[in-house]
Structure 1
Amino acid sequence: MRWAGKVARTASLLVASLAVTASATGQSATSYKAPEHVGGWPGLVSGSNETEAQASIDLGPELERDRSPKWLLDEQRKLDKALAALTPQKPGMVDAYVVVVGLDSDPIFGREAREAGKVLSRRYNAVGHTIVLAGTNGDGPSALPNGSPHNLAVALARVAELMDKKQDVLVLYTAGHGAKVGLAYHDADDGFGIIPPARMARMFDELGIKNRLLILSACFSGIFVPTLASDTTALFTAASADRTSFGCQSDRDWTFYGDAMINNALRQPVPLATAGANAQALIAKWEGMKSDLLPSQPQVSIGSKVSTWLTPLEARMPKTATPMVGRPAISIFEQ
């Protein structure tokens, strides 16, 4: 077929962009051996021409393979337990529902996701309104539901059932690798998938979630800005649409963006816009320490009506900062 070569190039672009962002495998100091990425990505893109190939990506392809029945049952129980722990919104009050997903089994993303859940839950008074989906933090098998596109969709659906969609807010943090077509899901050699901008937008539209604080930590995550930006959305991305972000080695505690945005900026009792600007400045400083790093150019988009939900949330924000945890992302420069 005359389009076969172009479709193949679309698929190879997906694999290549993921390969660029793939992290080095590191091991925890414990005897536990974290899952590793050994094999390559399976074909997730279909179609006989470029238009069909892009359409297949926009559907959000996901593949789980060789999952044991016991694993599937255990995973279902973990997800059910986490969903059951979410509580209804409080009438007359703007509530935040925090959803954090670590989309890769490399332990750095499990560590970052867990701490992001703590920081965002505290900042936005979301106790009982927080769910974290993530793999191992390197210490042992994860007790959390897996950070997969499927589990993310289910968690968002449950949040949509519980929240008052006219006033409450979704706070979503994603941690993982990215490609020029979307966020990458990669669980060892068993789970694969892509969450493209079109798929994420459809989920929000179907669920009626309009008030959104979205923080996307991945390479090329700026591709989400044109699709997800709205007057009631605050959107922060780790990189522009054509740039990588840094610090995703498996044995680290933080990516550059996670350290700057979560571990530094959002721990402080400052407005959201200030936190975003502080994170951008910190990342620019860190990247400037190495002449061979092409700046990641984190993106910020804050809609004109965000203040309707952000002002009451920030009025109840804790007045004191919390201490940073883990090894700083730039400690990688010391290696």
Structure 2
Amino acid sequence: MPHQFVRRFVALTAALAVSLSLASSATGQATSAYVAPQHTTAWPGLGTGDDQGAAEASLELGPELERDRSPVWMLADQRRLDKALATLQPQKKGVVDAYVLAVGLDSDPIFGREAREAGKVLSRRYNALGHTIVLAGTDGSGPSDLPNGTPRALALTLARIAELMDRNEDVLVLYTAGHGAPVGLAYHDGDEGFGIISPARMARMFEELGIRNRLLILSACYSGVFVPALANETTALFTAASADRTSFGCAADRDWTFFGDAMVNHALRQPVPLAKAGEDARALIAQWEKQADVTPSQPQISIGSGVGKWLAPLEARMPKTVTAMVGRPAISILSDQGR
């Protein structure tokens, strides 16, 4: 970011902080018991500026920036989200229900396609009809008819799922597709939407909402950074890469990333246990990466000791047949590049 812009941005935020402080002082304390939200910190830098520590701290909080968004589009997208949330059905007492949420966090069509198919595969595998939502931008064929995949939409959907599920019994199945960074999952929608979902931010959301039983599948570079924050005894966590490695195959015009193809399009379509599906996907990715002669992404797998309590009932009801793979194989990117 140009330093001249940074200086202007810092000056603006400092002026806003002073203005807000003066306004708070002038308002005084209301006579009722209610206490209005207080300004206790400076205006957030959203990760900008020359202070690396402040930037990292800001990114950890999960900033989201919508820039010059059309108000007509915003209203239409809110209506799509409201409609999708209204389709979610309450849990069934005495039954381990899975709530599937698939999110494409980037406007590159590959992530819209991957999120849509992941939602279908996971919903079928875990019998989540009426308990599934997909948030994603375009699949490349035209404007999306789904609620957009944003950090805000993700948070609102998690909150609604938490209201409907039995948090002691039921399971969140979350699949995210998008780019990643060493600080977390990146939200990037054209020139309008920007943001970060950090491991700390995601962990705090789960903690506040009381979502303890979790199957988390994170398809992004550096997604292993989430393992220390999210791995626990009731969580099964699969990431596309280790904390210091990229994953592969995320060209915008493709149908699958390497991880999405191996994990969703191959392994999870099979009536095999979750742990085996993860290992099968990891072996297939290693094979493809060897063919591509790239640095291994090192996908991570963490399955807590208490996962079996909720996973066994889900897998007992799992379909016994295989569904057909869709889209161009991720590895075909090598032959296409050679044309």
Q: Is TM-score (shorter-chain normalized) higher than 0.5?
A: yes
Give the counterpart of 2:217 among 197, 215, 218.
215
Cα distance per residue 1:11-58 (max 9 Å; x no partner): xxxxxxxxxxxxxxxxxxxxxxxxxxxxxxxx7305774433222111
Distance 1:47 1:308, change over 3 A: farther
Verify the 8 A CA contact 1:47 1:56 in the aligned structure 2: no
Give the counterpart of 2:191 among 189, 211, 234.
189
Is 1:325 the equivalent of 2:317?
no
Give the counterpart of 2:164 among 162, 165, 174.
162
Q: Distance in 1 between matches of 2:173 and 2:278?
A: 15
Shift of 1:65: 1.0
Q: How many residues align?
A: 295
Q: Distance in 1 between matches of 2:50 and 2:244?
A: 26
**Structure 2 residues without counterparts, runs of 5 or longer:** 8-44
Helix, strand or coil: the match of 2:331? helix
Is 1:287 the equivalent of 2:328?
no
Give the counterpart of 1:62 among 61, 64, 75.
64
Helix, strand or coil: the match of 1:55? helix
Q: Distance in 2 between matches of 1:71 and 1:110?
A: 18
Aligned pairs for 1:41-190 (under 5 A) are 44-46=46-48, 49-190=51-192
Q: Which amino acid aligns with 1:319?
A: K
The equivalent of 2:20 in structure 1 is none
Q: Following superposition, which runs of at least 4 residues in structure 1 exceed 3 angstroms of deviation?
A: 46-51
Q: Which amino acid aligns with 2:330?
A: A
Aligned pairs for 1:216-255 (under 5 A) are 216-255=218-257
Q: Distance in 2 between matches of 1:158 and 1:321?
A: 31
Helix, strand or coil: the match of 1:288? helix
Q: Distance in 2 between matches of 1:58 and 1:167?
A: 30
Helix, strand or coil: the match of 2:218? strand
Cα distance per residue 1:52-108 (max 9 Å; x no partner): 322211110100011111111101100000000000001110000000100000000
Verify the 8 A CA contact 2:46 2:55 in the aligned structure 1: no
Q: Distance in 1 between matches of 2:296 and 2:78?
A: 41
Over alpha carbons, which structure has the higher Rg?
2
Q: Distance in 1 between matches of 2:286 and 2:70?
A: 45
Q: Distance in 2 between matches of 1:251 and 1:261?
A: 19
Helix, strand or coil: the match of 1:183? strand
Q: Which amino acid aligns with 1:94?
A: V
Q: Distance in 2 between matches of 1:44 and 1:330?
A: 37
Shift of 1:214: 0.2
Helix, strand or coil: the match of 1:329? coil
Give the counterpart of 2:272 among 270, 273, 279.
270
Cα distance per residue 1:126-159 (max 9 Å; x no partner): 0000000000001110000000000000000000
Q: Which amino acid aligns with 1:303?
A: G
Q: Distance in 2 between matches of 1:264 and 1:233?
A: 22
The equivalent of 1:199 in structure 2 is 201
Is 1:298 the equivalent of 2:299?
yes
- TM-align CA RMSD: 1.5
Q: Distance in 2 between matches of 1:197 and 1:303?
A: 18
Q: Which amino acid aligns with 1:152?
A: L
**Structure 1 residues without counterparts, runs of 5 or longer:** 9-42
Verify the 8 A CA contact 1:108 1:254 in the aligned structure 2: yes
Q: Which amino acid aligns with 2:279?
A: A
Q: Distance in 1 between matches of 2:288 and 2:187?
A: 27
Q: Distance in 2 between matches of 1:232 and 1:55?
A: 28
Shift of 1:124: 0.2
Q: Percent identity?
A: 75
TM norm structure 1: 0.86
The equivalent of 2:31 in structure 1 is none
Answer 1 or 2: higher relative contact order, Cα 8 Å, separation at least 6.
1
Q: Distance in 2 between matches of 1:313 and 1:47?
A: 48
TM norm structure 2: 0.85
Q: Distance in 1 between matches of 2:284 and 2:56?
A: 35
Cα distance per residue 1:148-204 (max 9 Å; x no partner): 000000000000000000010000000000001000000001000000000000000
Q: Distance in 2 between matches of 1:244 and 1:51?
A: 24
Verify the 8 A CA contact 2:107 2:190 in the aligned structure 1: yes
Helix, strand or coil: the match of 2:174? strand
